[in-house]
Amino acid sequence: MKWRAAILAAGVCGWLVSAAGQQPQQNFDNVKIQVTPVQKNIYMLFGAGGNVTVQVGKDGVLLIDTEFEPLVPKLMAEIKKLSDGPIQYIINTHVHGDHVGGNDAFYKLIPKNPQLPLNIIAHANVLNRLTAPGPNGAPGTSTAEHPGFPEDEYDTPYKDFYYNGEPIFIYHEPNAHTDGDSVILFRGSDVVTTGDIFTPDSYPFIDIARGGSVKGEIDALDHILELTVPADHQEGGTYVIPGHGRVCDEADVVEFRDMVVIVKDRVQDLIKKGKTLDQVKASKPTEDYDTEYGANGADRFVEAVYKSLSGK
Amino acid sequence: MKKTAPLLLLIAVMGVPAFAQMDFTGEWAPLYHEDNPERIPGPELGDYMGIPINNAARLRGDAYDADRISVVSEYQCRPHGGDYSMRGLANMRVTEEYGPDDHLLAIHTRMNFQEQARTIWMDARPHPSELAPHTFQGFSTGTWEDNMLAVFTTHEKESYLRRNGLPRSDKATFVEHWVRHGNLLTIVTAITDPVFLTETFVRSQTWQLDPGQRMGRDICEYVPEIAKPVGTVPAHLPGTNPFLHEVADWYGLPFEATRGGSATLYPEYKDKAPKPDKVPAMCDRYCACGQNGRGCNLH
């Protein structure tokens, strides 16, 4: 219940309900966790909400994102099948509830070992938003109440460390999907986890209220393309775990990046012609992409692009 | 003993389907008499005739700017998708792979253009989960329908239905039927795409056995061919593509017909179609494509 209050304080409940396509009182009883081997040390787990990245090796287990609290026991059961080592790291790609919702539950389930403490990492803006005062002067949520908050925050362009035999880079992608997005590169396994900057089956949710922008979104996608190298004739090589959807590679990110740029260029052109937001929406600048990325999210995407570019 | 003989015969007959009913192995050269202008010089911009596309696909084709391949260098070394590769420009080698029990495990194809390599699994293995990575050639499984090989393919990456910007999504699947008559191989491809097609799209292509064929390697290195700022993606803004009427004007076709869609797929459309806007006095474009070995002249 306290965790729900924290999510509410961070203002992400609306996202949790609408963007993830979940009902507020969703029953997770019948959700099964699918485990997809990605490459070398890396697996992708999916039940409901965002994808979970799992890195296993001689040192232990590292997780990226935690889905929803009720799913944590099921996620733990699948992780134990991959490794009986200790979970030492959780990284949150951003603040939304379908990616951080299981943090507290993981913290509680993971045995405490002073020699091998659990580190929960995210960009500082994630922690700032989770602990920010609520509307109408409501006090912020304290980290004492929520041991699963990412208190190992970073506030630099990137953070790196070595774990399970490979370097791990956590890059801050400023003002992209939100203002606290991280993209994680596993340099030995050659896998990149993107969070919701990249969602191959749906338009990006550019969360303007939480610092997102279309320029930052495109810059972040271009950075992901810099990090990925195809093995041969534009496929394979570096694999990409998106915030939602199947395992991808560079070629899939290119399709998505191009769509975002093309829609941005169309909206920019309409703004130059003096069109209002309603007129821009009425012109259907995403019509040729709606059957691919979902017409339901089109208006929200166009509105975010318009507001990003016009400042209105 | 009398009961044993029919039983042995039955076992012998039932044993046959475990092996290839038809041998497709060898070096195959594509014949381009079918759809030659689309396959050899390449499709005209804005020509969507005969393809059951929806409006989203049509608008994607309208926005397509071929500069995208020069500017977005990640496109330069892409192979065709598995569905398109059978009609693209490439010779083909077909080999078989046998398992330890001498049952056919897989049929492999290799084409030299962009090193396209497909595996058609013949061991009844399941297709991967929806969350597994996709590839340009997709994941294929095959079964025998008498002497015909039926192939079902999923898990393709997004690619094109036609090389003028008409898209084919990564949700598409396709069924092929391989038929051999002597030294000729005909492959019929039926594509289903819930994202960009309103009904199944069928096309065929034929190959000739060419035992003397030798295929080279196709090494590709991509480079930025036109210097542009990072993140530039060339595309025509809606309603601004100046090339869309060319195909209708050059060939004396109704513009409406060039816009494609299910109706243009069927012969009766010819009787319903509006009159062309203008008809050239004589053929002056690709008039001799594929005829008697002649090339595709522009004039």
Per-residue pLDDT reduced to its tens digit, A163-179: 999 999 999 999 999 99
- Of the pLDDT bands very low, low, confident and very high (cuts 50, 70, 90), residue A9 is very low
- Across the A:B interface, residue pairs with CB atoms under 8 Å apart total 102
pLDDT at residue A2 in the model? 43
pLDDT at residue A23 in the model? 42
Locus of tokens 């009720």:
A70
Query: Angle B205-B89-B189 (CA atoms, 0-180°, nearest 5)?
Result: 30
The DSSP annotation for A239-302 comes to EEEESSSS-EEHHHHHHHHHHHHHHHHHHHHHHHTT--HHHHHHT-TTTTTHHHH-GGGHHHHH
Question: Distance (Å, rounded) from C-alpha B21 to C-alpha B140?
Answer: 18
| Contact flag A265-B233 (C-beta cutoff 8 Å) | yes
**Tens of pLDDT, residues A208-252:** 999 999 999 999 999 999 999 999 889 999 999 999 999 999 999
pLDDT at residue A139 in the model? 77
Window 127-146 of B, Cβ < 8 Å to A: 129-136
CB contact, 8 Å: B231 with chain A? yes
Please, are residues A184 and A54 in contact by the beta-carbon 8 Å criterion? no
What are B172's two structure tokens?
A: 């598409």
| Residue A5 pLDDT greater than 50, yes or no | no
- Using CB atoms, which residue from B129, B170, B195 is nearest to A291? B195
- Domain range list for chain A: 2-310
A114 to chain B nearest CA, in Å? 37
| Residue A185 pLDDT greater than 50, yes or no | yes
| Residue A97 pLDDT greater than 90, yes or no | yes
- Reduced 3-state DSSP string for A202-217: CCCCCCHHHCCCHHHH
Of A20, A47, A44, A11, the C-alpha closest to A178 is A11
pLDDT at residue B22 in the model? 95
pLDDT at residue A176 in the model? 98
What's the sign of the alpha-carbon dihedral A14, A18, A24, A26?
Answer: negative
CB contact, 8 Å: B117 with chain A? no
Report CA A174 to chain centroid distance, whole Å: 13
Residue A18 backbone phi and psi in degrees, to 5? -90, -50
Window 4-43 of B, Cβ < 8 Å to A: none
pLDDT at residue B284 in the model? 76
Question: Distance (Å, rounded) from C-alpha B19 to C-alpha B96?
Answer: 11
Report CA A159 to chain centroid distance, whole Å: 17
First to last CA, chain B: 77
| Contact flag B63-A288 (C-beta cutoff 8 Å) | yes
- Using CB atoms, which residue from B62, B78, B132 is nearest to A251? B78
Please enumerate residues of A whose Cβ is less than 8 A from a Cβ of B. 34, 36, 44, 46, 200, 218-219, 222, 225, 230, 232-236, 239, 245-252, 254-255, 257-258, 261-262, 265-266, 269, 283, 285, 287-292
What interhelical angle do A250-272 and A214-227 show, nearest 10? Answer: 160
- Of the pLDDT bands very low, low, confident and very high (cuts 50, 70, 90), residue A84 is very high
Intervals of chain B under pLDDT 70: 1-20, 289-299
What residues in A contact B138, CB-CB < 8 Å? Answer: none
Q: What is this model's ipTM?
A: 0.91
| Contact flag A247-B133 (C-beta cutoff 8 Å) | yes
What residues in B contact A239, CB-CB < 8 Å? Answer: 133
| Contact flag A251-B63 (C-beta cutoff 8 Å) | no
Question: Distance (Å, rounded) from C-alpha B32 to C-alpha B39?
Answer: 7
- Looking at domain A2-310, its CATH architecture is 4-Layer Sandwich (3.60)
pLDDT at residue B294 in the model? 58
- Of the pLDDT bands very low, low, confident and very high (cuts 50, 70, 90), residue A137 is confident
